[in-house]
């Protein structure tokens, strides 16, 4: 039997690890390192949890220093654009309490708005594809055709079972996971599934299958997708929303991998170690062919791992260099998940923290702080 950490409180999580092992997946002490870089496996997840609740990066990194005189945090402030003189970033413009304010940068501007709004602010500032900017009469300061391109995300699909005897969710309600390959010829796993201790599915799936509240989920996802999307402006002003062109499952290999993931989730979810926790399989059931493909498409949900829209690199579609500097503009860097050339195989929180840590090291060295 798998021996979970002492802090684990919901018995269905170690049962899922045992279930994965029963169909041939090895088990590990955690999901990092060998489990993600080898053939895959199952484990209890590492959680950033305090007193049973997920602890945010803001709470861990920023909140303890809120009383510092050199730190100002403005909530409900909208960054509208970077102010640029010639080819040099000089600060940012923000909309705050109904008024436009300009904040001048003493040394540099670092954008960390995420893969959806970093490209929006760059484009609103005149940094992007000159033809797209021109369609909204935004003067092009620097032609960077990769801004908003290369959009990647992990999107998943739920397989759900009704509890035999209801169990309350604990910690983050996600305490076990497995990685595996949709094709044994792959070098590393391209599938990840989390066990969720509550029903978690798309509105379309909910309308079709009506899962009971007392249910649990194997939420699978394709974590090395080939599909790419794009972020577009919809108007010339910062108040115009962006248009997200997901293109999820547009590449045929991604659909094949998604179907393989659903089949593996069903095999694990219906295996002997999880039978004491399952009254019945709610969804998808034994679907095949076009019906299974339709299920996957209807079940798709974002896992909020949006990345790669201002990618680091050296080709014509790259936006930042290895020091996170925006090409062609002085004193401007990006430090968030948008700089990833491709989405990481696992969750993106820790990689984004590392990007932030690396940005801090670069700034300390460059400015001798």
**Would the CA dihedral through 284, 289, 294, 297 be positive or negative?**
positive
- DSSP lists the bridge partners of residue 81 as 93
pLDDT (0 to 100) of residue 1: 43
pLDDT (0 to 100) of residue 272: 98
What's the pLDDT tens digit per position in 265-293? 999 999 999 999 999 999 999 999 999 99
Backbone angles phi, psi at 271, to 5 degrees: -80, 165
pLDDT (0 to 100) of residue 7: 54
- DSSP lists the bridge partners of residue 307 as 152
pLDDT (0 to 100) of residue 51: 75
Q: Which residues are CB-contacts of 121 (< 8 A; sequence separation ≥ 6)?
A: 79, 80, 81, 82, 111, 113
By C-alpha distance, which of 146, 189, 154, 190 is closest to 339?
146
Q: What angle do CA 141, 143, 149 make, to 5 degrees?
A: 125
R_g over Cα of the chain = 23
pLDDT (0 to 100) of residue 56: 87
Quick count: other Cβ atoms within 10 Å of Cβ 234?
Answer: 11
> Could you report the average pLDDT of every consecutive run of 10 residues in the chain (369 residues)?
53 96 94 86 87 82 93 94 97 96 96 97 98 97 98 96 94 93 94 96 96 97 96 95 95 96 98 97 96 96 96 97 98 98 93 96 94
Please tell me whether residue 284 adopts helix, strand or coil conformation.
coil
Chain position carrying tokens 């595996």: 180
pLDDT (0 to 100) of residue 4: 44
Dist CA 262 CA 191 (whole Å)? 10
- The catalytic residues are 305
Quick count: other Cβ atoms within 10 Å of Cβ 38?
Answer: 14
């Amino acid at each position: 039997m798998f021996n979970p950490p002492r802090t684990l409180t919901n018995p269905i999580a170690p049962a899922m690890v045992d279930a994965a092992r029963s169909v041939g997946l090895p088990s590990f002490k955690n999901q990092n390192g060998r489990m993600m870089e080898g053939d895959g496996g199952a484990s209890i997840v590492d959680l950033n949890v305090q007193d049973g609740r997920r602890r945010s990066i803001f709470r861990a990194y920023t909140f303890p220093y809120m009383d510092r005189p050199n730190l100002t945090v403005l909530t409900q402030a909208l960054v509208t654009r970077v102010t640029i003189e010639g080819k040099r970033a000089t600060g940012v413009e923000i909309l705050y309490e109904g008024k436009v304010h300009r904040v001048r940068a003493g040394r540099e501007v670092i954008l960390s708005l995420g893969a959806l709004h970093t490209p929006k602010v760059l484009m609103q500032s005149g940094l992007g594809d000159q033809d797209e900017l021109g369609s909204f009469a935004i003067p092009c300061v620097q032609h960077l055709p990769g801004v908003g391109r290369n959009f990647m995300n992990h999107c998943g699909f739920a397989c759900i079972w009704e509890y035999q005897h209801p169990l309350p969710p604990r910690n983050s309600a996600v305490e076990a996971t497995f990685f595996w390959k949709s094709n044994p010829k792959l070098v590393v796993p391209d599938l990840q599934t989390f066990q969720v201790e509550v029903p978690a599915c798309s509105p379309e799936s909910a309308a079709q299958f009506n899962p009971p509240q007392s249910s649990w989920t194997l939420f699978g996802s394709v974590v090395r997708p080939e599909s790419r999307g794009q972020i577009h402006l919809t108007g010339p002003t910062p108040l115009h929303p962006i248009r997200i062109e997901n293109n999820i499952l547009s590449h045929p290999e991604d659909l094949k991998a998604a179907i393989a993931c659903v089949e593996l989730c069903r095999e694990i979810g219906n295996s002997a170690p999880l039978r004491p926790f399952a009254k019945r399989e709610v969804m998808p059931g034994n679907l095949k062919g076009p019906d299974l493909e339709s299920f996957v498409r209807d079940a798709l949900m974002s896992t909020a791992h949006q990345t790669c829209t201002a990618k680091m690199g050296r080709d014509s579609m790259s936006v930042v260099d290895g020091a996170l500097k925006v090409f062609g503009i002085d004193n401007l860097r990006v430090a968030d998940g948008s700089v990833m050339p491709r989405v990481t195989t696992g969750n993106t929180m820790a990689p984004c923290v590392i990007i932030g840590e690396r940005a801090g090291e670069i700034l300390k060295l460059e400015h001798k702080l």
